[in-house]
């Protein structure tokens, strides 16, 4: 194999391989049955190294958190196949074990070895968030789970397809462990279709360029990603900076949980040390080590946006996660609420990085996906499960105000449209609006959160919420103010009530005509509020983003002079 490759061929092959992963994303999004994948794009595809499992190429439409996580998933399959000694052309593995593959049990992973001329060349992989995979709570976000078995059915890596032959027994087990078997089967077929397409596209690529040239391109892309990362780090000052933030609680005990990081830069290397973070909890805000490492990558990718989605980026970065912490939970610790914890990890990494290079970071985003599930039975007895996540404000930056009503910065997913949710489930949105006075003040304010009020149209249902930021506000940077906290309420015969643990609750009984209400956090502000232009404050008031009273409290009375 040639040790080098010319720049033009490298650029062409890089584009072709990215297109393969992008087409795999698009194939699943079109074919999936559940709106979490089809509309929200909670899925990802990529190409992975044949021996290490490292990410070689990832689709641009999937979730960034999967870039690092899926390398651990592929490595789990590599290790399983090596132990069994039975890897063969035509195999496809399936599993959802989060302690091996990261994230949580709702994310179903399919991993396929790709062979060329009888030799293993790389792996193709697909991951998608299935609508329901059993467990105590429909939709699987169980805020009071104390082990993985209360969250979902746990499937270790097994062969779904063996030497080209589908293993129907595995499909039967999967469909018996979901409340929504039609949705699960549709999503499974969509993921298999994406892998099939990726395989055909790779066949065409290797037929055209040859295996040696494509391998040389993949090696070069990894080395280039490493060199770019080292260059970025070398441009920053050497030093050590610390930050700490908190989770509201673990869903079991009402006690705040610190997440702490020390960011150290020395030359062209970086260390992220999470010593001082809370220990493993009884409730489901733990994450597995693969998820923690992948989250560090996502934060780094935000700070250095021009870096490619490639494992080479992490070669100059050491992630230290203390054993026994909630960032390195071992099976069967519950990890269903991983999204909330990784968002707080990103917040503290940003807060530490802001001390070293404030121009490179944004203030805290709203910091919770507010995983809300409403489930029941239709009049004809058919079960329904509406699981979705909800938006909030992003943080202000050196260049602009934060985005209003955006999705969490762990993903490029979209919030499912109200019309899709109302068409699919027996609910009606009384309100879907921006939340006034929710943005953190600053020279560039944070983005606004949102208000969602959802009324039940069936006779009975049960609601479950797994959220965060009900006790700790999204923070500003460089002197910016904090965003509004999360507020959840539910309706019953006596009126409205809120959860005792602020952001987490299961077993909320709803009758026809009753509703649940989310008021999501705004983003933190960037820079001192005193530096915000009066015209910008006046515009926010005119748009209804800010009430006159709060405008005066946050920015002083001088803003009114622009309206005289």
pLDDT for 563 equals 54
* Secondary structure (3-state) at 376: strand
pLDDT value at position 3? 53
Model pLDDT, residue 413: 67
474, 524 Cβ separation under 8 angstroms? yes
Paired tokens of 275: 């010593």
| Helix (H), strand (E) at residue 339 | helix 338-356
Sign of CA pseudo-dihedral 414, 415, 417, 420: positive
**How much is the pLDDT for 178?**
96
Model pLDDT, residue 2: 40
| Phi and psi, residue 121, nearest 5° | -105, -45
| Cα–Cα distance measured from residue 256 to residue 472, given in angstroms and rounded to the nearest whole number | 9
Q: What is the model's pLDDT at position 453?
A: 98
C-beta of residue 404 within 8 angstroms of C-beta of residue 487: no
Give the whole-angstrom CA distance, residue 59 versus residue 41. 12
Q: Supply the pLDDT for residue 139.
A: 87
Report the relative pairing of strands 269-273 and 257-266 from DSSP bridges.
Answer: antiparallel
- Residue matched to tokens 């949980």: 257
pLDDT at 124: 97
CA 510 to chain centre: 29
- Of 76, 101, 104, 87, the closest CA to residue 161 belongs to 87
Which positions ≥6 away from 449 have C-beta within 8 Å? Answer: 366, 391, 392, 393, 405, 434, 435, 438, 439, 483, 484, 519, 520, 521, 522
User: Residue 526 is inside which H or E element, if any?
Assistant: none
pLDDT at 416: 82
| Spatial separation of the C-alpha atoms in residues 136 and 150, rounded to whole Å | 5
pLDDT by residue for the chain (564 residues), tens only, comes to 345 789 999 999 999 999 999 999 999 999 999 988 998 888 999 999 999 999 898 888 877 788 778 999 999 999 999 999 999 999 999 999 999 998 999 999 999 999 999 999 999 999 999 999 999 988 888 889 999 999 999 999 999 999 999 999 999 999 999 999 999 999 999 999 999 999 999 999 999 999 999 999 999 999 999 999 999 999 999 999 999 999 999 999 999 999 999 999 999 999 999 999 999 999 999 999 999 999 999 899 889 988 887 888 999 999 999 999 999 999 999 999 999 999 999 999 999 999 999 999 999 999 999 999 999 999 999 999 998 889 999 999 999 999 999 988 776 667 888 999 999 999 999 999 999 999 999 999 999 999 999 999 999 999 999 999 999 999 999 999 999 999 999 999 999 999 999 999 999 999 999 999 999 999 999 999 999 999 999 999 999 999 999 999 999 998 887 654
SS3 198: helix
Q: H-helix or E-strand containing 182?
A: helix 181-209
Q: What CA–CA distance (Å, rounded) separates 451 from 430?
A: 10
- Quote the strand ranges of 296-389, DSSP E: 317-320, 371-377, 383-388
DSSP code per residue over 457-474: -SSEEEEEEE---SSSPP
């Amino acid at each position: 194999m040639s040790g080098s490759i010319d720049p033009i061929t490298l650029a062409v092959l890089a584009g072709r391989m990215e297109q393969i992963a992008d087409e795999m994303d698009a194939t699943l999004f079109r074919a999936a049955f559940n709106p979490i994948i089809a509309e929200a794009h909670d899925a990802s595809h990529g190409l992975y190294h044949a021996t290490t499992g490292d990410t070689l190429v990832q689709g641009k439409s999937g979730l960034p958190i999967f870039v690092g996580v899926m390398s651990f998933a592929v490595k789990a399959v590599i290790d399983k196949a090596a132990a069994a000694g039975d890897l063969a052309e035509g195999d496809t593995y399936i599993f959802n074990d989060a302690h091996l593959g990261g994230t949580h049990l709702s994310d179903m992973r399919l991993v396929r070895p790709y062979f060329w001329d009888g030799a293993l060349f790389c792996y193709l992989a697909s991951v998608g968030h299935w609508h329901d995979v059993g467990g105590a709570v429909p939709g699987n976000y169980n805020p009071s789970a104390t082990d993985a078995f209360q969250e979902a059915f746990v499937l270790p890596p097994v062969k779904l397809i063996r030497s080209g032959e589908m293993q129907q027994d595995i499909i039967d087990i999967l469909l018996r462990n979901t409340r929504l078997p039609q949705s699960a089967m549709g999503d499974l077929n969509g993921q298999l279709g994406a892998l099939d397409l990726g395989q055909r596209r790779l066949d065409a690529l290797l037929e055209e360029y040859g295996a040696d040239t494509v391998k040389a391109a993949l090696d070069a892309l990894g080395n280039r990603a490493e060199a770019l990362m080292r260059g970025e780090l070398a441009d920053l000052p050497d030093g050590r900076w610390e930050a700490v933030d908190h989770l509201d609680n673990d869903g079991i005990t009402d006690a705040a949980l610190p997440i702490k990081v020390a960011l150290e830069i020395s030359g062209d290397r970086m260390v992220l040390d999470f010593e001082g973070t809370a220990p493993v909890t009884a409730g489901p805000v733990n994450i597995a080590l693969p998820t923690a490492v992948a989250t560090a990558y996502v934060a780094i990718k935000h700070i250095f946006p021009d870096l490619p989605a490639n494992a080479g980026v992490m070669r100059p970065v050491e992630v230290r996660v203390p054993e026994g912490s909630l960032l390195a939970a071992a099976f069967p610790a519950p990890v269903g609420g991983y999204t909330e914890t990784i968002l707080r990890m990103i917040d503290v990494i940003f807060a530490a990085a802001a001390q070293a290079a404030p121009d490179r970071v944004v203030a805290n985003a709203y910091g919770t996906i507010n995983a809300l599930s409403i489930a029941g039975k239709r009049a004809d007895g058919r079960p329904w499960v509406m699981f979705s996540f909800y938006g909030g404000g992003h943080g202000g930056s050196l260049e602009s105000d934060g985005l209003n009503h955006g999705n969490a910065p762990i993903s490029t997913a979209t919030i499912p449209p109200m019309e899709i949710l109302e068409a699919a489930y027996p609910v009606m949105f009384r309100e879907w609006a921006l939340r006034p006075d929710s943005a953190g003040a600053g020279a560039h304010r944070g983005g606004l959160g949102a208000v969602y009020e959802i009324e039940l149209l069936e006779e009975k249902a049960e609601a479950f919420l797994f959220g965060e930021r009900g006790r700790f506000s999204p923070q500003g940077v460089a002197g910016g103010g904090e965003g509004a906290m999360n507020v959840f309420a539910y309706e019953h015969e006596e009126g409205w009530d809120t959860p005792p643990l602020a952001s987490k609750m299961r077993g909320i009984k709803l009758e026809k005509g009753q509703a649940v209400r989310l008021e999501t956090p705004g983003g933190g502000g960037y820079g001192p509020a005193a530096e915000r232009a009066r015209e910008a404050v006046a515009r926010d008031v005119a748009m209804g983003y800010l009430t006159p009273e709060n405008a005066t409290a946050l920015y002083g009375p001088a803003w009114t002079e622009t309206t005289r």
